[in-house]
Amino acid sequence: MPKPKEIVLKKSEEIEGTPIEGPWLDDIHSLEEVLDYYERIGFQATHLGKAIEIWRRVEEKRARGEEVRVFLGYTSNIISSGLREIIAWLVKEGKVDVIVTTAGGIEEDFIKALKPFILGDWHVDDSLLREKGINRIGNIFVPNDRYIEFEKYMISFFERILEIEREAGRPLTASEFIYELGRYMDEKLGKEKEKSVIYWAYKRNVPIFCPAITDGSIGDMLYFFKEERGDRELVIDIANDIVKLNNLAVTAKETASIILGGSLPKHAIINANLFRGGTDYAIYITTAVPWDGSLSGAPPSEGVSWGKIKAKADYVEIWADATLVFPLLVWKVFKD
């Protein structure tokens, strides 16, 4: 039996690799220089460093004229937070080709072009907020007058959609509905629309898919519109959007999937990529864990088992709040 000292001080093999090293602050003069160290800092910093490397590689290919179709997915809380403007910038600058989001990701983008959301607190009396007509998203407050104002716009928008559908002789798909909402914003709203994702997606012809378009305030407004008018004509088609979304993946030479959060947008993107044998690049930013078997927490490697991410794909998962790391990621890739 080995002696205790031999057990504790077991001989090791030599290994090569990147030394773990953080920035020496006397030598650092900018945030960009700090971020240069992320590939040499352990844990999630390493993953952020790899995400920067992957997205830069995608952009370098695109700059050379090679086709890498970029799919961006995000849940509504991403728009609730201050990441809306970064996403709108990405669309404006042509850095994103396809978007998938939830209903909240559509309506909150529009509402913010009417009135802002307000920074509140995590620790409040929620029953008192309800009495005051103030909704809470984490530590963000959204007074109900935002939704009242939203309804005024949506009623006339639904009437417009009805006319378009009557002329076309068919219902619009959800992505067409969102495109028309961007056109509507362009016509009806002022300068405040210029930080909107929907507006820039309309201007740049970037399709936004929302398979669960009724799961939010848009659904509420549809309910009011249809009940008050006894309407049975206005229909939003999600079936044909599946064809369009899947084909955007199938027809691409290469694809990159950048996903903030989980839920429906994540699955819609990677499932579309299944039909082409998997995405070539993937960056996940999430706080969901894999232990409950949910899709939101499933790591990229699990997607490989389904064929939704290629076995030889370049991928990384950052386990962190997107509001902390996504601005750093975008800045380092596009502004450094």
Q: What is the rounded CA–CA span in Å between residue 63 and residue 53? A: 15
Q: What is the rounded CA–CA span in Å between residue 307 and residue 302? A: 9
Catalytic member of 112, 195, 266, 308: 308
**Short-list 78, 30, 71, CA closest to 332:** 30
- Cβ partners under 8 Å of residue 19, min gap 6: 40
Q: What is the rounded CA–CA span in Å between residue 42 and residue 45? A: 6
CB burial string 201-214: b at 16+ within 10 A, e below: bbbeebbbbbbbbb
How many CB atoms are located within 10 Å of the residue 306 CB?
A: 13
Beta strands 98-101 and 68-74, pairing class: parallel
Q: Which residues pair with 98 in a beta bridge?
A: 71
How many CB atoms are located within 10 Å of the residue 327 CB?
A: 14
Is residue 308 flagged as an active site residue? yes
Contact of 110 with 185, CB cutoff 8 Å: yes
Q: What is the rounded CA–CA span in Å between residue 221 and residue 100? A: 21
Q: Which residues pair with 118 in a beta bridge?
A: 141
Contact of 177 with 208, CB cutoff 8 Å: no
- Helix residue ranges, H only, 64-173: 76-80, 84-92, 103-112, 126-131, 145-168
Q: Residue 134 in 3-state DSSP? A: strand
- Cβ partners under 8 Å of residue 303, min gap 6: 270, 278, 282, 309
Q: Which residues are known to be catalytic?
A: 308
